[in-house]
Structure 1
Amino acid sequence: MSNQAPPFPPQAYPPPAPDQHPTPPPAGSQPQASGRRGPGWPGVIATAVACSVLSGAGTYAAVTALDPAGPTKPITRQAPAELPPAATTGDVAWAEVATAVAPGTASIQVQGRQAASSGSGVVYDDQGHILTNHHVAASLGRNATITVTMPDGLTYPATLVGSDVDTDIAILKLENPPAGLAPATFGDSDRLVVGQPVMAIGAPLGLQNTVTTGIVSALHRPVMAQQGSSGNNPFGPAAEAQYSATSAVQTDASINPGNSGGALVDASGRVIGINSSIASNATSAGTAGSIGLGFAIPANTAKTIADQLIAHGQAEHPLVGVSVGDARVNLGSALVSGAGIASVSEDSPAARAGLREGDVIASIDGVNVDSSTAVIAYVRSQEIGSTHTFTIIRDGEEKEIEVVLDASA
């Protein structure tokens, strides 16, 4: 994949890790994340299952492996059930939702030379494309062997079509897709509300077809997760690690290692997010588990990137053209946290819109962005060519500036 420039330069991305950040696990285990919105955040863990991990000393310790073999007898493929009516509050017929969405889900096994991992996926179309996370599909390299197990127990070989480290989205393709695939139905993640009931479905710890329920706990939660050092490096060869930036859907539905790449659906069974990471008090990814703080990539972002990966094998990202860092500024008697602009690139969207060095970005489209991480995550989730209202603080006054996002070079 060709290098993609981040919306902001590397010194602001990722932000410095807090002192209380847990010690990273050995190389080859599930990646840690450094994203946080405010003080006191626990570590954020990408939720793929590592079946064997490569330690820093060059040895590896095996844990419970998954059996990729499916049954030998033919099984009739289940057609998708009719989706129940949408709901945002009140009682939900989750049994009906689970039945309806199950045919559009998948379990993924990846076997590298010295390590293996597993995760979940979503049937994207009837051509055999499977949507999942970059850290599930591509973390062990392009020479890894990938298999996909469908809810009926049948397992198929698959290849990696493309992956995008910046958004943690990847597309697989079944080599010989069966007839009658049931693609998942996607909803509009921009219409989500806090408190809305949701269900996560996937293969936590290799347990296929597992569903858990909860609510949308928060929206536009900035999450930055370390993706390792392989694949597309947005900062060039000097950077040691790459990070995905997500303006995430937060949920208290139980999400555990192995849920990565699986669906977060609403009460009508429509996919509104792709589960990707969890916050954890664990000191390593290997001991992490759900504490009711799970994060999903919004469905609209996932679809935008997936369509590009299918068409071109790689994805472009929106560009603002500013260098930013965390900042606080007075507005009257109040103190505003935001992203301070350190420099503006020539002929960039920011320059054309009138953003200046010294401005502090306080919100975008009415969504508070109280750090450089929050700005990066929000911009990364938008479409190229879209127009957004940046609310800035300049010389002690609040101003609104319209910015049209370009594609990164």
Structure 2
Amino acid sequence: MQQSWKLTIRTVCISILLGFGAGVLGTALTSNYLSDYALTLGELSAPTRLSEELPRSSPQTYGDAVREVTESVLPGVVRFYSVGSYAEPFASGAVLTSDGWILTSWEYPVSGAFVTAVIGGRSYPVVREVKDSFATGASFVKVDASNLPVFAFGSGFDLAPGDQLFAAPSPTALFAETVVEARWLTGSLSSDAPQRLVAIEDPLLGAYQGSPVVNVRGELVGLVTHGSAGFTFVLPIDGVLPAFNAVLREGNVTRAALGVNFVDLTRNLGLSEEDTLGLAQGALLRGTTSVKKGSAAAIAGLVPGDVVLSVDGVSVDAHRSLDELIVTHAPGDTLTLRVVSESGEREVKVTLGTL
């Protein structure tokens, strides 16, 4: 099947035998391995199954991509049902670990005696839910299981307009999608919560909240959150995984905190040259409350009016905002910020606090 990778491709429905190969795929990922997982900014993360698989080659044709995604992705798709009502699932999700940790972006509680997760045709009661309430709203849901098929991880932060994706609302269906653009909030933003959403060209997919979205190599890049104004929005996986790592290590969500509010100069127009110091990119700490008292930033010496130009040598620009360079770290990490102010440019060492 030859089709343009730049066009919106109609829904491809695929029926598969879900049991085949589940044991092989499931044993390759463990909680201990994932707890050490760290996503490297600017690059696709290493799949957390078998490191010797890297580098993973891109499929040569659309048909190759469909076959690869069908085999590696669909078995790990989860559907959540209310017990006693199996007509329609209320949300979808993705299996993260072979022992039963699942990720979903469903906005309401998933845990409780009246919820079951269906994976590979088998129902599992939900035994625990941990929600990343402040930053992403994502939920990490636990079922008692073993040898489940799992997802490899890619990067949602690295997606560009025109990139081909696949969404999997169920284990028997794929939707082929195209990235339209990345979107950020405007105005004053927190350094400690990811702001980016990825818009894809499908007004209907937003109804399938929690659906895993993968790239052409079958790597998880995000989850469907909602639909609006003719688009569906995807929460990038990059900002979610650090919180999951904390759940595996500590049993609950902890996040790194710099403790500033900033204006992204790349995406905010109308500020005076005096405010921006003549800069077209960077994170401006604007306003007297932009540096929180007692925060890591305040302890390190950041003050209102500073512009953060880079974090550990990675520029704050149209490709990476300040929050994205902070949220992928853990509390206690020490970073080097390049900062400019009216008095000149300087380097600032900062040890991240806990949100």
CA distance in 2: counterparts of 1:397 and 1:293, whole angstroms: 43
**What is aligned with 1:184?**
151
Contact 2:239/2:324 (<8 A) preserved: no
Question: Which of 107, 110, 115 is 1:146 aligned to?
Answer: 115
* CA 165–369 in structure 1, closer or farther in 2 if over 3 Å, else same: farther
Task: Look up the match of 1:100.
Answer: 72
Q: Does 2:189 correspond to 1:247?
A: no
What secondary structure does 2:98 align onto? coil
User: What is the aligned partner in structure 1 of residue 35 from structure 2?
Assistant: none
CA distance in 1 between counterparts of 2:294 and 2:222 reads 35
Mapped pair 1:351 → 2:298: yes
Q: Which amino acid aligns with 1:292?
A: F
The RMSD of aligned alpha carbons is 4.1
| Alpha-carbon separation, structure 2, partners of 1:395 and 1:88 | 50
CA distance 1:341–1:387, shift in 2 (3 Å): farther
- Which residue identity is paired with 1:350? A
Q: Is the 8 A contact 1:162 1:310 kept in 2?
A: no
The structure-2 alpha-carbon separation of the partners of 1:213 and 1:111, relative to structure 1 and needing over 3 Å to count, comes to same
Amino acid at match of 1:182: P
Q: CA deviation at 1:165?
A: 0.9
Provide closer, same or farther for how the CA distance between residues 293 and 173 of structure 1 changes in structure 2, counting only shifts above 3 A: closer
Who is 2:234 aligned against? 295
Number of matched pairs: 287
- TM-score for both structures, normalised by structure 1: 0.57
| Matched-pair contact (CA < 8 Å) for 1:194–1:217 | yes
The answer (yes or no) to whether the contact 2:153–2:220 under 8 Å persists in 1 is yes
More strand by share: 1
Question: What TM-score do you get using the length of structure 2 for normalisation?
Answer: 0.64
Distance 1:312 1:333 in 2: 44
CA distance in 2 between counterparts of 1:171 and 1:184 reads 14
Q: Deviations over 1:252-294 (max 9, x none)?
A: 253634433232211111112233233x13xxxxxxxxx2342
User: How far, CA to CA, are the matches of 1:213 and 1:274 in structure 2?
Assistant: 14
2:65 is equivalent to residue 127 of structure 1: no
- 1:136-185 CA-partner distances (Å, limit 9, x unpaired): 544xxx546211122x433222223311212222222224x3x5421122
- Residue 269 of structure 1 is matched in structure 2 by 218
* Structure 1 unpaired stretches of 5+: 1-74, 225-243, 282-290
Gap change, CA 1:183 and 1:316, over 3 Å in 2: same
- Contact 1:184/1:270 (<8 A) preserved: yes
Higher relative CO (CA 8 A, sep ≥ 6), structure 1 or 2? Answer: 1
Q: Residue 320 of structure 1 is aligned with which of 245, 249, 258?
A: 258
Equivalences for residues 383-402 of structure 1 within 5 A: 383-388=330-335, 390=337, 392=339, 394-395=341-342, 401-402=348-349
Q: Distance in 2 between matches of 1:91 and 1:293?
A: 22
* 1:61 alignment partner in structure 2: none
Give the CA deviation at 1:107: 0.8
1:164 to 116, 120, 132: 132
Aligned partners of 2:242 and 2:328 also within 8 Å? no
Structure 2: unaligned runs, 5 residues or longer: 1-16, 26-52, 187-191
Is 1:309 paired with 2:247?
A: yes
Percent identical among aligned pairs is 20
Find the residue that maps to 1:342 and give its secondary structure.
Answer: coil
1:86 and 1:248 map into 2 onto residues whose CA distance is 27
* Inter-CA distance 108–164: structure 2 relative to 1 (3 Å threshold): same
> Could you tell me which amino acid in structure 1 is paired with residue 100 of structure 2?
G
Q: Report the more deviating stretch, 347-356 or 333-342.
A: 333-342
